[in-house]
Amino acid sequence: MRKKILQKSAELFLNLGFKSVTMDDIAHEMAISKKTIYVHFPNKTKLVEAVTFEVFETICEGIDGISNTSLNPIEQLYDIKMFVMQHLKDEKTSPQYQLKKYYPQIYQRLHMKQFEKMHESVKESLQKGIQLELFRPTINVDFISRMYFNGMIGIKDEQYFPKTLYATEYLMESYLEYHLRAIVTEKGLLVLNTFITTNQS
């Protein structure tokens, strides 16, 4: 039952936002009593926390799977972008913004976990790209990895990138290409251009 509550809550939170979904809403959607939810989660904050890190772990597992099977680091980054977008495709709100506003402590913990995960993953990808001569050997792997994370977080800030001007898909696609063009070798540029030409979204 705990797993089912987490799944339904995640769906509702991503679609409607952390603030607007109540425990009553979740109970109603699942056709169970509110008491049943409280057996597993003593309050809404604990439920939000559990959902947040459950979704995070699911995405991490998917990223690890892609990283282990991708042909090269350029395709790997695009595959990860597609996976994350599909996983969060139904979100109608800005979950991270709401989390930051209404549950700042949970947001801070998630933010650090996201950084740790992405920092390590991107560093490995960059090093692999250097070995395959797709990325320039002179790049500072640690610096580029931190910049990449900072940019990915930055493009989600609606204050600077309002949804009325920029679709999420466009932002992620453009930022990824911007990032890669800054670090590829001539060989890498051929791979990147070929990939973009054959996979126009």
Indicate the domain borders of the chain: 43-198
Could you give the dihedral angle defined by the CA atoms of residues 148, 151, 153 and 154, in that order, rounded to the nearest 10 degrees? Answer: 170
| Six-digit token string for 24 | 């009553």
The domain defined by 43-198 carries CATH number 1.10.357.10: yes
The pTM for the full model equals: 0.85
Could you give the dihedral angle defined by the CA atoms of residues 134, 137, 140 and 144, in that order, rounded to the nearest 10 degrees? Answer: -10
Question: How confident is residue 163, by pLDDT bands cut at 50, 70 and 90?
Answer: confident
CA dist 83 and 96 (Å) reads: 18
DSSP assignment string, 2-53: HHHHHHHHHHHHHHH-TTT--HHHHHHHHTS-HHHHHHH-SSHHHHHHHHHH
What's the pLDDT tens digit per position in 107-161?
Answer: 999 999 999 999 999 999 999 999 999 999 999 999 999 999 999 989 988 889 9
